[in-house]
A and B are shown apart, each in its own frame.
Chain A
Amino acid sequence: MPGTPLAAPFHRAVLGLNGGATDPLVVKLGCELARSFKATVVALHIVEVDWTHDLADDIASGNELAASVLDMAEGIAEKYGVTLETHLIQARDIGPALVDEAAELEADTILLGLPYRKRFGGDFAIGRTVPYVLENASAGVIIVREPIPATEAQALPPALAGTTSGPAS
């Protein structure tokens, strides 16, 4: 419906980025909404540390990949004219770290991506993080779903094939 806001207004949103294909979608949506709501945005990338390392070990700081995830977000935000804060986190589990960081930053919205998995016939890999955030976050949650590739969409039932990516809270 034209004129209907995409999401409830927020003051501060946390964008959960995992270095995947949905990151640009999450950042673009976050920036567009933040610009219209005059809100602030924080991009968060959490590096999972396995039990072979101490949590305080320096794993992420020299990690070019981890740095580039947040820098990419910063570049997109610059084009939208939105100031983006970036946080790099090390944690044992992504879900709790994301929820705790959002709570500490007093964010009222969390945006997360949901990638489409081509293997095994194609489905959405919902994993552990998205359900954890949906169940535990006190803030509102927007899931940005990756579009289904056109070639695969033809094979889906008509009801599913018509769906496109979009925020869902």
Chain B
Amino acid sequence: MIGGRRQLSGRKPGDRRVRIERPHSEYFRYAGPGVLVAKEKAHVERRPLPHAIAQLKRVLIGRPLSSESDLEERLSKRKALAIFSSDAISSSAYATEEILHALLVGGAAVLFFSVPISIAIAVLLAIVAFSYRQVCLAYPSGGGSYSVSKRNFGRLASLVAASALLIDYTLTVAVSTSSAVEQITSAVPDLLPFKVGMGVMAILLLTLGNLRGVREAGNIFAIPTYLFVGTALTMIGIGLYRIVVLGDVSAAPQIQATADLATQAALAVLLLRAFASGAVALTGTEAIATGVPAFKPPEARNAATTLMVMAGLLAVLFIGITVLATNFGIVPTEHQTVVSQVAAHVFGDSSIGFYLFQAFTALLLFLAANTSFAAFPRLGAILAQDGFMPRQFSFRGDRLAFTLGIVVLGLAAAALVTFFGGDTSALIPLYAVGVFIDFTISQAGMIRHWLRERASQWQFRLAVNAFGCVLTGIVAVVVTTAKAPTSLVVIALIPVLVGIMLFIHREYDLVATELALRPDQVIGPPKKRERVIVPVPGLSRAVVQAVNFGRSISEDVRAVHVTEDAEQGAALRREWERQIPGVQLVIVESPYRSLVPPFLAYLDVMAPPDGETITIVVLPEYVPRHWWERLLYNQVANRLKQGLLGRPDTVVANVPYRREEPDLAMAQKPGTAPPG
């Protein structure tokens, strides 16, 4: 093969042919005239440290996926149900307990209200789910309530919705991991001192799992969700059989009321509080509407179907567990959760069924955080595309996941767990405040949507959303009041986040306006002339290379040498004139021994920005071969670069000089060190 061509002879003497090497084919593929697509090999890091980091990333999160694999990475309804529903479905494990806890102050006599309350919450769930189903279909680009409020109310309301959601997603991760860790430490008290470390480790594992890509996360997290749903439905089935057929019904233990319920108003307040407490079951309902683009096509329809299946499952599990708990006379205790007592009653204490159910419940609580990992980065990406968050949030990483969103969520949640010492009860007052604000804004947005669109049956849909809006609004107020003053931190944080987002948007807008070209503008050749100035520390190969580069772009080239030693300056001038004739050398004597300020002053005086001349400062730079060499060389050049940052009509060009192998390099003259 000579010059990439290899001569080959054919069967007949005249049938010669030449095989041509295609050097680009390893790295690029032509996709059209003048359009090249970089192949996987072109993305490989060549420098040692980034290469090592890339290899480590490959081990931890897998090999990079091309953008063409995006469709393959989309979620089927089955996997999406597991990924987006783990939060909502897991709440069926504790929502009943929350209602009973709230009712307990009224004594055993009011515990029977738990079933009607759970049905009322299921109705609210149906309304919210119905509303978000409409959101999925009407706003298929995702974003959920952010998109709804942006379209129907404008910027401010949409940012309030987005901030509330971002806060709640972060809290979901912190609360669910802390709660799962507490389940483990309840079983193994020796692990109690490692509570925070275990929580942080759990978040790290979830972060890594999600960085591997949405589909793979689905593979990892789908099984526990379905195992929980399967065993919980079995438990409800067996429990109902025992109640209806075998008549297995027990009365609740006698509990003295601690609150005065003499008036109807007091009872109403108690029931309202119980309703608000149980409404935590709704958290996570909005996640599917946020992540519509993660579904396989037809995205909107698949998301809407998955949402309804999720709501149906959640309602059945929630009402079922509440009915069983009420009929079996179960009340919350300090040592055992309500759902655990129900499982013990149905499957039998210490039975395999009981332990399996407990294990699956703990696992699901642990993975409930995963819903936030699916929704938070997508919302971040949408906000970034709209210019309200740094653009990096919309960049997809090697595995087509929104890397920065996942990492930021992981870090924020880990910080919360560390700050609150992994204590769930300390985190709970902050939880579920944002999501009800979000539900309310979303429902209100849908009311305006129906008023504007007036699609078929719009009056009915509007009525449903109006009813839902009032209910979720009341729950938002009750939840915030009941959990005050801690919950007010969230209320205070929302305007802070809105302010930050508005600031980012303003910055992006300002810069875009400054950088924009007028559409009618046609760019002609530059009218400015170039002037090259090369700061030289001495005479060396690096300097010669920089000077020659300067000569190739302009005829006006000056070398400037700042020195504290006049004699050394004169010696340099003699050598300069002999070895680089035709290039003017300016010696700047510096009796106060500083190097950078006199050079900058020289530029200001001798090459002031006049609007007609571009000053190109060419810096000779020595390329270090080892990391430690960076400490020895180019320090003055770096300071010069800093000094020239933002100078009008000035361009700084680095001309790197790579040291040749010792046998190839000519012997260097003494005293001509590389730029230092």
Contact = CB atoms under 8 A, between A and B. Distances in A.
B194 interface: no
A135 interface: no
A64 B5 contact: no
B21 interface: yes
Interface of A: 46-47, 55-56, 58, 60-61, 64, 67-68, 70-72, 74-75, 86-93, 96-97, 99-101, 103-104
B17 A89 contact: yes
A1 to B, nearest CB: 34
Interface in B1-50: 3-5, 7-8, 10-12, 14-22, 24-25, 29-34
B30 A97 contact: no
Given A58-B5, A103-B11, A90 B18 contact: yes
Interface in B207-244: none
A55 B15 contact: no
B32 A90 contact: no
Contacts of B30: 64, 67-68, 71-72
Contact of A91 (B11, B17, B29, B34): B17
Contacts of A60: 20
A46 B17 CA distance: 9
B22 A70 contact: yes
14 contacts: A55-B7, A61-B4, A71-B30, A86-B22, A88-B19, A89-B19, A89-B20, A90-B17, A92-B16, A96-B17, A97-B15, A100-B15, A100-B17, A101-B17
A103 B5 CA distance: 19
Interface centre among B7, B11, B15, B31 (most CB of A within 10 A): B15
Contacts of A72: 30
* 8 smallest beta-carbon distances between A and B, as pairs: A68-B30, A91-B17, A96-B15, A100-B10, A71-B29, A90-B18, A88-B20, A71-B30
A119 B655 CA distance: 59
Interface residues of B, number: 25
Interface centre among A55, A61, A99, A101 (most CB of B within 10 A): A61
Contacts of A55: 7, 16-18
B616 to A, nearest CB: 32
Contacts of A97: 10, 15, 17
Contacts of B32: 68
B38 to A, nearest CB: 12
Contacts of A91: 15-18
A91 B8 CA distance: 10
A46 to B, nearest CB: 8
Contacts of B21: 61
Contact of A58 (B3, B14, B15): B3
Given A46-B17, A89-B19, 19 more contacts: A55-B17, A56-B18, A58-B3, A61-B21, A61-B22, A67-B22, A67-B25, A68-B32, A71-B30, A86-B22, A88-B20, A89-B18, A93-B15, A96-B10, A97-B10, A99-B11, A101-B8, A101-B17, A104-B8
Contacts of B8: 100-101, 104
A19 to B, nearest CB: 12
B3 A92 contact: no
Nearest to B14: A92
Nearest to B16: A55
A61 B15 contact: no
Nearest to B5: A56
Given A55-B16, A56-B5, A100-B8, A64 B22 contact: no
A81 to B, nearest CB: 12
B11 A71 contact: no
A46 B15 CA distance: 13
A55 B25 CA distance: 22
Contacts of B33: 64, 68
Nearest to A79: B68
A88 B20 CA distance: 5
B175 to A, nearest CB: 43
A75 B29 contact: yes
A61 B20 contact: yes
Contacts of B19: 87-89, 101
B22 to A, nearest CB: 6
Contacts of B20: 47, 58, 60-61, 88-90
B144 to A, nearest CB: 34
B68 to A, nearest CB: 8
Contacts of B25: 67, 70-71, 74, 86
